């Protein structure tokens, strides 16, 4: 009995790595499941067409209004008249042209309404407004 009590007060000479190994196995299994899930599917050799290049490109156009009122169409600076001309050209190719409007939170409301008026004149009905999700406390 005295030997058992003496051994209880001595420091450990090794580290218990069992919890670390459990974590490593869980991470390994998760990694294997996620990588195989993204590869699943039936492989086919898709036919080649002339229109495939146009179909692969997204047709959505992005209009951005900066804090100081700068106007951009797909990252290129434009005026309101240029915006209307270019959108009309894109709409000729795709009558259901989807447009995304992204404005800075500090942008003057007048600038946003001017862009929406251009969309209304062109009869664009597929318009999305980009926002950010507010934090839980806001």
Instruction: Give the per-residue pLDDT at 80.
Output: 92
- Read off the pLDDT of residues 11-57 as tens digits, 9 standing for 90 and up: 777 778 888 889 999 999 888 877 766 554 455 556 666 665 555 45
For residue 73, give the CATH number of its domain: 3.30.420.270
Instruction: Give the per-residue pLDDT at 30.
Output: 87
Asked if residue 39 belongs to a domain, the reply is no
Asked if residue 4 belongs to a domain, the reply is no
Asked if residue 38 belongs to a domain, the reply is no
- Read off the pLDDT of residues 77-119 as tens digits, 9 standing for 90 and up: 899 999 999 999 988 888 888 888 888 888 888 888 999 999 9
Expressed as residue numbers, the domain containing 98 is 57-129
3-class secondary structure, 77: strand
Instruction: Give the per-residue pLDDT at 125.
Output: 85
Instruction: Give the per-residue pLDDT at 86.
Output: 92
Instruction: Give the per-residue pLDDT at 4.
Output: 55
Asked if residue 49 belongs to a domain, the reply is no
Asked if residue 108 belongs to a domain, the reply is yes
Instruction: Give the per-residue pLDDT at 81.
Output: 92
Asked if residue 17 belongs to a domain, the reply is no
3-class secondary structure, 21: helix
Q: What's the domain count of the chain?
A: 1
Q: 129 Cβ partners below 8 Å, 6+ apart?
A: 100, 101, 102
Confidence category of residue 70, pLDDT binned at 50, 70, 90:
confident
**Contact call for residues 110 and 73 (beta carbons, < 8 A):** no
Q: At what angle do helices 80-93 and 109-121 cross, to 10 degrees?
A: 40
Instruction: Give the per-residue pLDDT at 7.
Output: 58
The answer on pLDDT for 58 being more than 90 is no
Query: Whole-angstrom distance between the N-terminal and C-terminal Cα of the chain?
Result: 64
Confidence category of residue 121, pLDDT binned at 50, 70, 90:
very high
pTM of the model: 0.56
């Amino acid at each position: 009995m005295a030997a058992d009590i003496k051994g209880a007060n001595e420091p450990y000479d090794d580290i218990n790595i069992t919890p670390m190994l459990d974590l490593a196995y869980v991470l390994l299994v998760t990694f294997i499941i996620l990588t195989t899930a993204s590869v699943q599917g039936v492989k086919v050799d898709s036919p080649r067409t002339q229109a495939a290049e146009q179909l692969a490109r997204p047709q959505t156009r992005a209009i951005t209004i900066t804090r100081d009122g700068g106007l951009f169409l797909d990252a290129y600076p434009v005026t309101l008249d240029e915006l209307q001309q270019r959108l009309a050209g894109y709409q000729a190719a795709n009558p259901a042209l989807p447009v995304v409007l992204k404005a800075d939170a500090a942008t003057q409301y007048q600038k946003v309404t001017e862009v929406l008026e251009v969309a209304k004149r062109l009869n664009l009905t597929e318009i999305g407004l980009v926002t950010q999700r507010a934090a839980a406390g806001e």
